[in-house]
Amino acid sequence: MKRALPSNATVEGHPAAGARVSLLTAVLYAVLALAASRVAAPAAPSVAQQNSAPLYGVEIIVFRSSSVSGGEDWEAVPPGRGFGSSATRGGPAPQVLRVLAANDYRLSTIEATLRASGAWRPIAHAAWIQTAANWGSHTGIALADVGINVPELGGMIYLERAPIYLHLGFDVRLSAGGTYTIKEMRSVRYNDKQYFDHPAFGIIALVTPIKHGETPSAQ
């Protein structure tokens, strides 16, 4: 079940079950509630385009918990939520057209608030423009391809386009005193901040539709 923040803070996610991460989750949602109302709306300066396929702006923050409670095996790899058993459709691979500079980030306020919270430590922040793969193809983009070169992070980002819904997914591993995995894909709505969670780390993501000749930009 997706959990929405109070008022107009629209970070959605699938919090881990039970009380095992209740404190960390509560702190995270409080942090995001403070920051969400200050996220800038997109502007649209011109950029060169490379093809006529639909384009999307994607931005993510990867952050880790300052501490992970003991007593449970957090290293166990969960089954992929939303991925299905295997790729089912072909089609063109997704392409990264442009990696955006930090002054184009829309989630900078959330990153700063997470950093100041003490409970969470941002370890990567990136934004880029890309095409999407066909739904069910499970063809992703490596973290390094969008400028994330953090030694303890590895994995793939998936953006898949169905006739009605857009799907965003991650198969990302954090190696920090253990190996922890987020493996999940879900349908997303434009401009809704999404929270992909694990007790050891998390990902906040934002997907924006891009018109040809435009790119998202902070104001």
Could you give the CA distance from residue 1 to residue 151 in angstroms, rounded to a whole number?
Answer: 32
- Does some domain include residue 82? yes
- Does some domain include residue 154? yes
Question: Which residue range(s) make up the domain with 193?
Answer: 12-210
Please state the rounded mean pLDDT for residues 15-31. Answer: 52
CB-based contacts of 203, cutoff 8 Å, min separation 6: 60, 61, 62, 63, 170, 172, 182, 195, 196
Please state the rounded mean pLDDT for residues 22-29. Answer: 57
User: pLDDT-derived band of residue 192, with 50, 70 and 90 as boundaries?
Assistant: very high
User: pLDDT-derived band of residue 14, with 50, 70 and 90 as boundaries?
Assistant: very low
- Does some domain include residue 138? yes
Could you give the CA distance from residue 131 to residue 207 in angstroms, rounded to a whole number?
Answer: 12
Count structural domains, the chain.
1
- Does some domain include residue 6? no
User: pLDDT-derived band of residue 132, with 50, 70 and 90 as boundaries?
Assistant: very high
Percent of residues, the chain, with pLDDT higher than 90: 50
**Average pLDDT value for the chain:** 79
SS3 content of the chain, % helix, strand, coil (to 5): 15, 35, 50
